[in-house]
Amino acid sequence: MTSDKKVIIAIGRQLGSGGRLIGERLAQELGIAFYDKEVLQLAVKESGINVKFFEESDERGKGFFGALSGFFAPLLGGGSPDDNQLSRESLFKIQSNAIRKVADENSCVIVGRCADYVLRDDPRCISIFISAGTTDRIKRLCQLKNISAHEAQRLIHSGDERRAAYYNYFSTGKWGAAATYNLCVNSSVLGVEGTIAYIKDFVLRKLAQNA
């Protein structure tokens, strides 16, 4: 990917859809950076807040954030207590700044964390949502986590619920709704390899159109 064709691909995904794998492989094929939990590490580096607060609040929606009300996080450096008070908005703002930083630095794929909303005004950002059939999602989670189909179903329900709550709380769009994204893809239709190829073709066509 040349510097004159800079692109940021923001991927939202259902749990068990293969979205993270697809995003990682897509980044490799395009020769660009890939960010998932790396965004959290950058947020920690920039803010000094313990990584556990980002990990525990990551895509969990209102419930967890409500429990943080009035809680004080250990920050590096000085500052008043008011500066150190955690809130759902302050954690999101710190993480959003980290997303903007990596987007400014290079072409990349960013998975989750409302990246498409954070970068909504950036013309280089292409937003994608990846879903999959329930049977395929259950099968993938069973293999990845070595759990039963019943446990996988439970994880799918709770995982999607958390991601939707997080996204719908912070953004003006609706998690998983076609109108929110530039492209929605069901990975069960073409499989992982086919989905990667399909998205790659879409991205390259979009770049050519912009050029």
Per the prediction, the chain carries an average pLDDT of: 83
pLDDT digits (tens, 9 = 90+) for 97-153: 889 998 998 999 999 989 999 999 999 999 999 999 999 999 999 999 999 999 999
pLDDT digits (tens, 9 = 90+) for 16-27: 999 999 999 999
pLDDT of residue 9: 98
Average pLDDT over residues 45-52: 60
Three-class secondary structure assignment of the chain: CCHHHCCEEEEEECCCCCHHHHHHHHHHHHCCEEECCHHHHHHHHHHCCCHHHHHHHCCCCHHHHHHCCCCECCCCCCCCHHHHECCHHHHHHHHHHHHHHHHHHCCEEEECCCHHHHCCCCCCEEEEEEECCHHHHHHHHHHHHCCCHHHHHHHHHHHHHHHHHHHHHHCCCCCCCHHHCCEEEEHHHHHHHHHHHHHHHHHHHHHHHHC
Domains and CATH numbers, the chain: 3-203 (3.40.50.300)
Considering the entire predicted model, what is its pTM? 0.82
